[in-house]
Amino acid sequence: MNNPNLRAVVTGTGGYLPRRALTNDDLSRMVDTSDAWIYPRTGIRSRRIAGEGENVSDMAAAAAREALGNAGVSPGDVDLLVLATITPDTPLPAASCLVQEKLGLANATCFDMAAACSGFLYALDVARQYVLSGAARKVLVVGSEKMSAITDWTDRTTCILFGDGAGAVVVERSEGGTQNGILSTATGTDGSLASLLHVEAGGSALPASAETLAARQGFLKMDGHTIFKYAVRNMAGIAAKAVADAGLRSADIDWFVPHQANLRIIQAVAKSMEVPMDRVVTNIENTGNTTAASIPLALHEAVSDGRIQPGDNVLFGSFGAGLTWAAAVVRWGR
């Protein structure tokens, strides 16, 4: 890590969204809500829902396959796969092991990262450390979620928010003196606030049973009003730290790619960071909150359509269950 020419560089992106779109009008026929209520409060008009038999590992593999192709990296050359998810196919084994098999990552060490909406940036931080330490040369970082599996479709306060999907990036070691790459990462946690956003049953503390099923304890519960306050404050704070650690100022940020939880949160954090909204990447209108998949999905869209260009300083920020929060700054390009 003392080599000034050593960098962890993002070399490829990929994304996957299920075919089925569930609109606000569709939801209005399921629970007491409407587009006129949902959109002004969240910025969401529709979200994608995984098809029958379409699991987290399937979506992760699709996004990862595209990222590997865009990076020009063969599956056998991947040293490490970190899969950020809170909705794995099964409690055991890790979903990353299933993705390894689907992609043929024969030489990769694999593990899951459970940090909810901050999972992708936590995983990106891990990838950076592996690369800079010399423990890995090529790392696949994936965020994949099937939030529809833990959403209570009778709870109008939460079912309007979440969707399914996957996004991925390839992180590689570069010793060629490039000025591009991951400039900084920063993470934070406050477990005393864990009850604000949680799934009560299904773990070892309260195993799934007929009783927990009847009480709907296996679905996500959240205190949205309280979370909003913490989300804005902590996401803005960690983003400012990442920018400072990268040796930059807010004015140096070309693009802000935030976690897509709520448009009002995104607007408040962008204002705090003094980043104009026309430099903020959002796709929440058509994806909803895809948790760990939201940042890599939004990034992939902005790279694919040409908004993000080599040399651009890109800021990432997230906030989620745990409570957790994270940020990173990447100077785009190989």
In this predicted model, what pLDDT tens digit does every residue of 59-98 receive, in sequence order? 999 999 999 999 999 999 999 999 999 999 999 999 999 9
Statement to judge: residues 153 and 45 lie in one domain: yes
Which token pair is 163? 């969707």
300 is known as an active-site residue: no
Q: What is the pLDDT of residue 3?
A: 75
Q: How does pLDDT run across 115-166, given as a tens digit for each residue?
A: 999 999 999 999 999 999 999 999 999 999 999 999 999 999 999 999 999 9
From the candidates 24, 70, 234, 289, give the one annotated as an active-site residue.
289
Statement to judge: residues 35 and 65 lie in one domain: yes
The full DSSP string for 210-239 is HHHHHTTTTSEEE-HHHHHHHHHHHHHHHH
How many structural domains does the chain have? 2
Entry pTM:
0.96
Q: What is the pLDDT of residue 178?
A: 87
289 is known as an active-site residue: yes
Statement to judge: residues 110 and 133 lie in one domain: yes
3-state secondary structure 267-334: HHHHHHHCCCHHHECCCHHHHCECHHHHHHHHHHHHHHCCCCCCCCEEEEEEEECCCEEEEEEEECCC
55 is known as an active-site residue: no
* Mean of pLDDT over the chain: 97
Residue 134: left if φ>0, alpha if ψ -120 to 50, beta else—which one? Answer: left
Residue 48 lies in a domain: yes
Residue 19 lies in a domain: yes
Statement to judge: residues 240 and 306 lie in one domain: yes
Average of pLDDT values for 17-21?
Answer: 98
Amino acid residing at 285: E
From the candidates 55, 117, 180, 234, give the one annotated as an active-site residue.
117
Q: What is the pLDDT of residue 2?
A: 63
Non-local (6+) Cβ contacts of 203 within 8 A are none
Instruction: Give the residue from 150, 174, 198 where a domain finishes.
Output: 174
pLDDT level of residue 200 (50, 70, 90 thresholds): very high
Q: What is the pLDDT of residue 74?
A: 98
Statement to judge: residues 157 and 39 lie in one domain: yes
Q: How many of the other CB atoms lie within 10 Å of CB of 324?
A: 26
Statement to judge: residues 123 and 53 lie in one domain: yes
From the candidates 55, 259, 300, 313, give the one annotated as an active-site residue.
259
Residue 84: which of 105, 65, 60 has the closest Cα?
Answer: 60
First-to-final CA distance of the chain:
19
Residue 1 lies in a domain: no
Average of pLDDT values for 190-212?
Answer: 96
Domain limits at 254?
Answer: 181-331
Q: Which DSSP category does 41 fall into?
A: H
Q: Percent of the chain scored above 90 by pLDDT?
A: 97
Q: What is the pLDDT of residue 129?
A: 98
